[in-house]
Amino acid sequence: MPIETKLPKVGTTIFSVMSQLALEHKAVNLGQGFPDYEPPLALREAVTRAMSDGCNQYAPGIGLASLREQIALKTMRLYGRKVDPATEVTVTSGATEALFAAIAAIVRAGEEVIVFDPAYDSYEPAIELQGARAVHIPLTVPDFSIDWQRVRDAVTPRTRMILVNTPHNPSGAVLSASDLDELAEIVRDTGIVVLSDEVYEHIVYDGALHQSVLRHPELAERSIVVSSFGKTYHCTGWKVGYAVASAALSAEFRKVHQYLTFCTFHPAQVAFAAFLASHPEHYLELPAFYQVKRDRFRELLKPSRLKLLDVPGGYFQLVDYSAIRDEDDQAFCQWLVVHGGVAAIPLTPFCETPPGTRLLRLCFAKNDATLEAGAERLCRL
């Protein structure tokens, strides 16, 4: 029986494609954004203890109370925002689930969601599945900043949500306090909800502060903020994230979440609650941990013909390869994995229309041996 697809533009994600090619060609995988080192030992041991202690059945649908309390404490400590763990914090099965649940809960058929290109590839399918339309606004190259006048011009009576991502994947760009003021001015006196993807919230460099929308009282009242334990604790495979929002927005969010995954991996929640309480220094020290990797990787790539863009946040390095080959980014990434022995991610799949740049994304959340091997191959090009 022929099936009419609801997502005609969607195939296998570029991350899966490039990781599979890396395996086939024995390439150094600097593409998909996962660390090749382990989570903290104390955290792994806490998960094992939780399983041995019998925490193997359903957790509460909204998340363990102890974990929600720790998230609330962290939110207050870092951003000065007091949130109620009972009504304003929800634990999810990864950030991608939280993003989908937020879009499904708020956006209705015929409405519009403003996204910024390059945009993470899960955003648009989630929007389209609601019968809504993603309105793409290109970020300004080379610093990947937002042109707020273009945002104002794009807002219509159908605009239901604006989706921001800071630190930004794939560019590493970060929003400033003045950016938040611009955003607040645009959504003021409207019914627009802000969805803020902040999974790299603890990976901001050179002494800068992460400008979460939770720091901005006006925005915090009308926003759903999504974060990820996987990015912070080097355990992307555990798929644990969370959403912070007002009680009213959280109530709508939870209606979808309960029928999407219902609850999240119980032993990991127990472990994260304990680890957040006993080791708050982990996320406080994360910027320095990744800044060493960023600076080391950039130093290793200096002899190459790649032009390195600035990296204010996140754990990805954008490079301009135009001095090596003059072809589109998807073709170059295919060539690179076969002939250069390195897997990278092109930017085109993150954009509504080809960006016309010669840029690709490299992940430096890797151990030293991986970074050295990848850089050595890239310097031979």
The pLDDT value given to residue 243: 98
Could you tell me the two tokens for 233? 């604790």
Query: Measured on CA atoms in the order 22, 28, 33, 34, is the torsion positive or negative?
Result: positive
The pLDDT value given to residue 16: 82
The pLDDT value given to residue 210: 98
pLDDT tops 90 at residue 33 = no
Q: How many residues are there in the chain?
A: 381
pLDDT tops 80 at residue 2 = no
For a pLDDT cut of 90, what percent of the chain falls above it?
Answer: 90
pLDDT tops 80 at residue 151 = yes
Q: Residue 48 — φ and ψ, nearest 5°? A: -60, -45
pLDDT digits (tens, 9 = 90+) for 339-350: 999 999 999 989
Q: Is 258 exposed, middle or buried (0-12, 13-18, 19+ CB in 10 A)?
A: middle
**215 near 183, Cβ under 8 Å?**
no
Residue 29 CB contacts under 8 Å (≥ 6 apart), including other chains: 18, 19, 22, 343
pLDDT digits (tens, 9 = 90+) for 179-218: 999 999 999 999 999 999 999 999 999 999 999 999 999 9
Poorest-pLDDT segment among 18-32, 55-69, 257-271, 274-288: 18-32
The pLDDT value given to residue 32: 84
Residue 335 CA to chain centroid, in angstroms?
27
All structural domains of the chain = 14-39+282-379 (3.90.1150.10), 41-279 (3.40.640.10)
- Tell me how far apart the alpha carbons of residues 294 and 86 are, in angstroms, rounded to a whole number: 38
Beta bridge mates, 216: none
- Tell me how far apart the alpha carbons of residues 246 and 181 are, in angstroms, rounded to a whole number: 19
Residue entry with tokens 């939280």: 98
Residue 202 CA to chain centroid, in angstroms?
12
Poorest-pLDDT segment among 76-80, 161-165, 187-191, 345-349: 345-349
**97 near 261, Cβ under 8 Å?**
yes
Considering the chain, what is the average pLDDT of its residues?
A: 95
Q: Which residue type does 73 have?
A: L
- Tell me how far apart the alpha carbons of residues 8 and 251 are, in angstroms, rounded to a whole number: 32
